[in-house]
Amino acid sequence: MQSLRNIAIIAHVDHGKTTLLDNLLKQSGTFKAHQEIAERVMDSNDLERERGITILAKCTSLVWKDVRINIVDTPGHADFGGEVERTLSMVDGVVLLVDAAEGTMPQTKFVLSKALRLGLHPIVVINKVDRLDARIKEVEEEILELFMALEATEAQCNFPVMYASGKSGWASSTLEGARTDLTPLFELMLAQVPVPKITLEADFSMLITAREYDPYVGRILTGRIFTGVLKTQQAVKVLNQKNEWVENARITKIMAFRGMERLPIETAYAGDIVVIAGLQQANVTDTVCAPAVQQALPASPIDPPTLSINFSVNDSPLAGSEGSKVTFSLLRDRLMRELESNVSIQVTESPTKDSFEVAGRGELQLGILIETMRREGFELSISRPRVLIKTETDGSKLEPLEEIQIELDDAFSGAVIESMSLRKAEMRDLRPMGAGRTRIIFIGPSRGLIGYYGTFLTETRGTGIMHRIFHSYGSYRGSIGGRRNGVLVAMGSGEAVAYALFNLADRGKLFIAAGTKVYGGMIVGEHNRNNDLEVNVLKGKQLTNMRAATADAAIRLSPPVVMKLEEAIAYIQDDERVEVTPQSIRLRKAILDPSKRKRMEKTRH
């Protein structure tokens, strides 16, 4: 058996985990000298590459000085926090990466707290020390403060520090040291991370930490073998966290991580992280074990969802014109398939059998699902996000609260503090960052932040940075004012005319350009007053001898406001929907018929 180490890389979003791992793989000889590899090779998902974030925890394996090192690249965003916690249960050590300029951030605190709670001893790597705005000494002090605030033990606080540039591919134990390669980091990992405790003589047991679905093999499960040996065709059983029997099965396939590939092997030993197939009912947090085992391995529970969105089939007049998947049965099959691989969401069919409530950890996670389905050819109608409120036995209500960390220019802090207080957020900390910047920390209800990000960018002239993370469930904070402006709603169907749009320019901001296909009930802009206004965007200029059609060429329209998917979902009100197709994102009223809409408003009031 080869000597082994299991390590996770944890950090805040965009602090350089995946880029550092690229260079670890290259310098260990995992890739051949002539082999071409993509930048951020671990972010294999298209959306991960476009957004520059890691969504799914992934495992890779490299060999350094005859020691096999399994390295897990974890998500830094709190919406994928369930992935982080379960991943950390597979490893014996962590590398905590912190940006030399940004310092400790909300997700740094989030991932570190989970690592410390599991008793892991982090190696701290201060990354991007070659940045011009690096503030290395202050960041070191912030890291120590964070360890102490999270009640780390004395041994955990005595962490080794490396200085590195993941992009340039070097690490050093001192700032003045040689900046050649990552050898110092490799050596520190072998010295600092303990060898897995292996008991080969005991009965086989393995904890499942991730689940996927393969159309050829079926359910695929990733986890760490804690005791014993596993062979293909071995008979096993599955126990859940209550020690209840789930199923009996035979392992049809075992795969181990070798570089970027998963290669089939015949035998796997305790301490290794492997992928298995052959089970039909086993789930994340379950234990796969020998028939004689009676006790399940302890596991972190799956984080409960805090936000839900209604998915329904697109029923607008333009339905079916851009997408290939437009039926309810296709939508149901796709969401059931998502449940197979994504354990952190919940899907509930509505009593009327016309929509699904999909609950998850946050706007980003659900936005990623919608964007993925859109690219697969689905047409969807999406509702406004709804925060999931808990009702206690005594009737009191609890709602999810978030920790919001904001960095902005000093001049804009007053406007942001006022906005956050209107959203029932409490300020917990305010400190100058230098160079005319301030960092403010709030605790506020999740529902108050839905749709705020666009306003925040306006208030800070695009210079503010906001990070959010789930904090806890707290007492219900009362009603929060929503969007103050009404919308401009199209009256009829056709193509928008430049002349009509020009005449509407003083009524508010437009969301469409000339030539855009519209229909009755579609939202074409934001009214500059607080009421909705029905408008005719199809009305052309009346042509007479005095008015020539060529005069339209002189019309100059301001560019329309184009919303991204998450912005559109956050913008709408309860009586509105986002129509999502492979080619377009449109806003519309839930009820398209104006007379029915007015009757509904009367009954509501």
CATH number of the domain residue 234 falls in: 2.40.30.10
Residues 215-232 as b/e (b if ≥16 CB within 10 A, e otherwise) read eeeebbbbbbbbbbbbeb
Q: Is 478 exposed, middle or buried (0-12, 13-18, 19+ CB in 10 A)?
A: exposed
596 annotated to a ligand binding site: no
- pLDDT value at 37 more than 50: no
**Claim to verify: residue 133 and residue 261 sit in the same structural domain:** no
The answer to whether 227 is annotated as binding is no
Question: Final residue of a domain: which of 135, 161, 192?
Answer: 192
The verdict on 144 and 283 lying in the same domain is no
**Is 355 contained in some domain?**
no
Residue 156 has pLDDT above 60, yes or no: yes
Residue 420, domain CATH: 3.30.70.240
- Please indicate, yes or no, whether residues 257 and 225 belong to a single structural domain of this protein: yes
For residue 335, the surrounding DSSP H or E stretch is helix 328-341
Could you tell me the sign of the dihedral formed by the alpha carbons of 143, 147, 149, 154, in that order? negative
Determine the pLDDT at residue 551.
Answer: 53
Q: Would you say residue 117 lies in a domain?
A: yes
The model's pTM:
0.74
In a domain, 426, yes or no: yes
14 appears as a binding residue in the annotation: yes
Q: Is 45 annotated as a binding residue?
A: no
Verify that 18 and 134 share a domain, yes or no: yes
- Least confident window among 202-206, 461-465, 573-577: 461-465
Residue 12 marked as a ligand binder: no
Confidence grade of residue 40 (pLDDT, cut at 50, 70, 90):
very low
CB 496 within 8 A of CB 524: yes
Question: 32 a known binding residue?
Answer: no
489 is in an annotated binding site: no
Per-residue pLDDT averaged across 49-63, rounded?
A: 57
Q: What gap in Å lies between CA 181 and CA 425, rounded to an integer?
A: 46
169 annotated ligand binder: no
pLDDT (mean) for 411-421: 92
Q: What is the pLDDT of residues 123-154, one digit of tens each?
A: 999 998 988 888 899 999 999 998 998 888 99
- Structural domains counted in the chain: 4
**Cross-strand partners of 429:** 441
Q: Check whether 197 is labelled as a binding-site residue.
A: no
**Residue 518 pLDDT > 90:** yes
Residue 550 in this model has a pLDDT that exceeds 60: no
Query: Which of the four pLDDT bands, split at 50, 70 and 90, describes residue 76?
Result: very low
92 and 143, same domain (yes or no): yes
Residue-level pLDDT at 176: 87
3-state helix, strand, coil in the chain (%, to 5): 25, 35, 40
Q: Give the residue carrying structure tokens 């999810």.
A: 400
Whether residue 104 is contained in a domain is answered as yes
- Do 14 and 106 lie in one domain? The reply is yes
CB 123 within 8 A of CB 92: no
Q: Is the pLDDT assigned to residue 13 strictly greater than 80?
A: no
Residue 319 lies in a domain: no
Mean of the per-residue pLDDT values of the chain: 84
57, pLDDT greater than 80 = no
For residue 433, the enclosing domain spans: 390-475
φ, ψ (nearest 5 deg) of residue 253: -155, 140
34 vs 219, residue with greater confidence = 219
AA identity, residue 540: G
Check whether residue 35 and residue 160 sit in a common domain: yes
**130 marked as part of a ligand binding site:** yes
Tens of pLDDT, residue by residue over 356-406, are 999 987 777 788 889 889 999 999 999 988 888 888 888 889 998 988 888
